[in-house]
A and B are shown apart, each in its own frame.
Chain A
């Protein structure tokens, strides 16, 4: 059978090491966010995104670039996207586009390159809309953090809430740090991914905390360190199995779901790994540091 782990791993032995790593990662993430920033996509920065398919493989990416440069569109990037002959063009045009803007690009490219250029997808987001989308994205992430805080505050004692929220903030910062490091393009679906990561990470933490609390009620003479260690071990196979099935689903999207879902699924994969790690190595040690005891749990019960 797979994953019938020996269930007496001393997780607390690794806390110091991993906590140091976490702190370094957080500092590094914040630094890189300030220095490098995020690679905001068309949704949040405004501009035009065009996915094209050319009908002959003789057309090189440099030909496309040349034709676009001629049109004087400002900052233009062209890259391969998914299959052979598919390209993604990004135009960072901030002035509002007139009605014939897309058509004129299509006409010029078709005549320059000869043959038919299929515009498979066009996304044109004006500066006003993109700043609104950015705002509502930020609002969504903050709201979900607040909602989680509220939920866990109702469900658990304050020590648990503190630890769980610290773990989520840890996850969000590091995940966004990784996005920045990889120059990962941030668009609407990444916001969805971050929200889901927040939910997933919370879910993982809550299951362990549930068990810690249950064990705290049961045993009065065992230290919190041992109780949390046992609890992690008891829930470990569930933690791993759920992460594995979730990752299986996500890898399936990443590999077979097409180019549009690649960013989203990669973001989720990173988030699930970070979220699983944090419930064991961030949330639980922080809970230990708060010296939560049977008393604090029973007090809340009465």
Chain B
């Protein structure tokens, strides 16, 4: 066990040196292009920032889609001259009554793979909608796969919009990823106050231009103001939606001395807008965002250039955010924040300090203890321990792993547990020395016999760390990472590096004798 080939020794030192460079590069400024310019990242709990988990709420979207389906089915029934009655939506199902002959006819159309209303998904071997017959009643609802498709496309679209909105706010290096079938995870490092982002993401930003009705006439509904009290009767017909917007930005209206949002329309939008404003001069036009009236100015003259502006008691900040929402487009469906974790930058700094101090103290305590207990072998164990720490940080850097506060705790714990390997070996050597006259043989046997115990002892820790890595979340995952890597570096430093040092010591002692 004590013999090392030259090649092995060179490899051991090479690994240590390379990893040392990686670990040092975390603490000094390295050249951008340098090979060693890989660093571990600080978790949100150490650098400060926000973690948000959003859930897509598809129920309003399904309701809306079902409503549209109802219209297409009505149209289809009329076209195909199928007699029906009581067509309505009940319990998320479209239902209607008809006679047996018509049921067969309807089924033929509805369950045809090329029909335009009920899409057939080749990949799922299933239709978008399920059809259930009970007597003369037909019930149509979204199938399992239809719902999956809705969720999926809603999530994909939301991701796009969320990305645009977060990017526009301009935080550094945000992480926006999809989580499961209906969630979006956002990490915003360095963000002190997540309220603004939460506000921006909390709005679906459905913009519509609708005419204000004179009275509560048919086809109108009362809608309340966003910033003022009171409500107006507004026509249900949407003249134009946010889809026709190509740009929006905050600006200042010198005439009225107020902050406004000016917008530009695409060609279709400009045409529509021109015709409506020409026909309705004198009437009021309501600008509605998420079912709240932003403002409802009177149309003084036709707006033909495809450019317009919105006033609404904006501050500069709220105008900026309003314009941002218009530019980034509407979310297909509302998003709810279901988990939020925010750490201020000063707490992060305090945590780093506390982590560093406790690491240093824990490290020194263990080192002194080992020296007091094992004297010379203690020095070897301590050199191995320091090497272990350097290797651990080096590996973290190469993997560009994220270091969290529990991760620092994991490093300190590794320091405490890492000496175990050398303790097991040294204790075994001591035992062997009692019965063995040859020192070299005792050392050799010590290493050989303790091997299985050291291996067993570390495997159990590695098992716990692996499970935690896959099931833990956030900062706790960082603990699993450091403890897990710690086990590997511990085994390396005990079984290669410390053994090599011990062999040097033993062989040298033999020569001196």
- Which of A's residues lie within 8 Å of B, judged by CB? 1-3, 51, 53, 96-100, 102-103, 118-126, 128-129, 133, 136-137, 139-140, 143-144, 147-148, 151, 155, 188-189, 191-192, 195-196, 198-200, 202-204, 206-207, 210-211, 214, 234-235, 237-238, 241-242, 244-253, 255-258, 260-261, 264-265, 268
Residues of A within 8 A of B462 (CB): 199
Interface size on B, residues (CB 8 A): 73
Report yes or no: A249 in contact with B412, Cβ–Cβ below 8 A: yes
A285 to chain B, nearest CB (A): 21
- Can you list 23 A-B contacts (CB < 8 A)? A51-B347, A96-B338, A98-B202, A118-B346, A121-B342, A121-B344, A123-B342, A126-B337, A140-B472, A188-B475, A189-B479, A191-B476, A203-B457, A203-B458, A207-B457, A210-B452, A245-B423, A249-B415, A252-B359, A256-B354, A257-B354, A257-B412, A258-B358
Asked whether, in the complex, the Cβ of A255 is within 8 Å of the Cβ of B358, the reply is yes
Q: Is the CB of B405 within 8 A of A260?
A: yes
Contact B461 A192 (CB under 8 A): no
Query: Is A144 within 8 A of B464, CB to CB?
Result: yes
Q: A245-B419, A246-B417, A253-B362 are in contact. Are A151 and B463 (CB under 8 A)?
A: yes
- CA of A37 to CA of B408, assembled, Å: 31
- B199 near A99: Cβ-Cβ < 8 Å: yes
Interchain CB contact under 8 A, A260 and B480: no
Shortest CB distance A80–B (Å): 16
CB contacts (< 8 Å) of A214 on chain B: these are 449
- Give complex CA distance A260, B473 in Å: 16
Interface residue from A189, A234, A253 paired with B476 (Cβ < 8 Å): A189
Q: Which residue of chain A has the shortest Cβ distance to B357 in the bound complex?
A: A256
Within the complex, which residue of A53, A207, A264 is in contact with B424, where a contact is CB–CB below 8 Å? A207
In the complex, are the beta carbons of B373 and A210 less than 8 A apart? no
How far does the alpha carbon of A256 sit from the alpha carbon of B363 in the complex, in Å?
A: 13
Complex: how many Å from CA A139 to CA B468? Answer: 10
Q: Are B457 and A124 in contact (CB under 8 A)?
A: no
Interface residues of B (CB under 8 A from A): 45, 53, 55, 195, 198-199, 201-202, 336-344, 346-347, 350-351, 354-355, 357-359, 361-362, 365-366, 369-370, 372-373, 405-406, 408-409, 412-413, 415-417, 419-420, 423-424, 427, 431, 449, 452-453, 456-465, 467-468, 471-476, 479-480, 483
- Given A124-B340, A188-B473, A260-B405, is A144 in contact with B369 using a C-beta cutoff of 8 Å? no
Q: Of all chain A residues, which has the CB nearest B372?
A: A2
Complex-state Cα separation, A182 to B473, whole angstroms? 26
Question: Which residues on B sit within 8 Å (CB–CB) of A96?
Answer: 336-338
In the complex, what distance in Å separates the CA atom of A247 from the CA atom of B472?
24
B192 CB to nearest chain A CB (Å): 9
CB distance from A138 to the nearest CB of B (A): 10
Q: Which of B195, B347, B465 contacts A99 (CB 8 A)?
A: B195
Q: Cβ of A264 and Cβ of B409 under 8 Å apart? A: yes
Give chain B residues whose Cβ lies under 8 Å from the Cβ of A244: 369
What residues on A are CB-neighbors of B45 within 8 Å? 260
Complex: chain A residue closest to B419, CB-CB: A245
Contact status of A252 and B431, CB under 8 A, knowing A129-B339, A188-B474: no
**Given B342, B413, B467, which contacts A122 in the complex, CB threshold below 8 Å?**
B342
Measured CB to CB, the closest approach of chain B to A261, in angstroms, equals 6
Chain B nearest CB from A145 CB (Å) reads 10
Determine the main DSSP class of A at the interface with B.
helix
Q: A203-B460, A250-B362, A258-B350 are in contact. List 17 more A-B contacts (CB 8 A).
A: A53-B346, A121-B347, A124-B341, A125-B339, A136-B473, A148-B460, A188-B474, A195-B465, A198-B464, A200-B460, A206-B456, A238-B427, A245-B370, A248-B369, A248-B416, A251-B362, A257-B412
Q: How far is it, in angstroms, between the C-alpha of A140 and the C-alpha of B468 when the chains are bound? A: 7
**Minimal beta-carbon separation of A105 from chain B (angstroms):** 11
Instruction: List A contacts of B472 (CB < 8 A).
Output: 140, 188, 191-192
Collect the chain B residues with CB atoms within 8 Å of residue A97's CB.
337
The answer, among B339, B344, B416, B471, for a CB contact under 8 Å with A140, is: B471
Q: Which residues of B have CB within 8 Å of A128? A: 55, 338
Is B416 in contact with A245, judged by CB distance below 8 angstroms?
A: yes
Distance, CA A1 to CA B372, complexed state (A) = 7
CA distance A280 to B40 in the complex (A): 40
Q: How far is the CB of B150 from chain A (nearest CB, A)?
A: 20
CA distance A261 to B347 in the complex (A): 13
A248 and B362 contact, Cβ closer than 8 Å, known pairs A129-B338, A189-B475: yes
Return the chain B residue nearest A252 by Cβ.
Answer: B362
Residue on A with the closest CB to B45? Answer: A260
Q: Please report the C-alpha to C-alpha distance between residue A256 and residue B354 in the assembled complex, in whole angstroms.
A: 6
Cβ–Cβ contact A102 & B344, under 8 A: no
- B199 (CB) vs chain A CBs: closest residue: A99
Q: Contact: B339 with A126, CB < 8 Å?
A: yes
Q: How far is the CB of A99 from chain B (nearest CB, A)?
A: 4
On chain A, the residues within 8 Å of B344 by CB distance are: 118-121
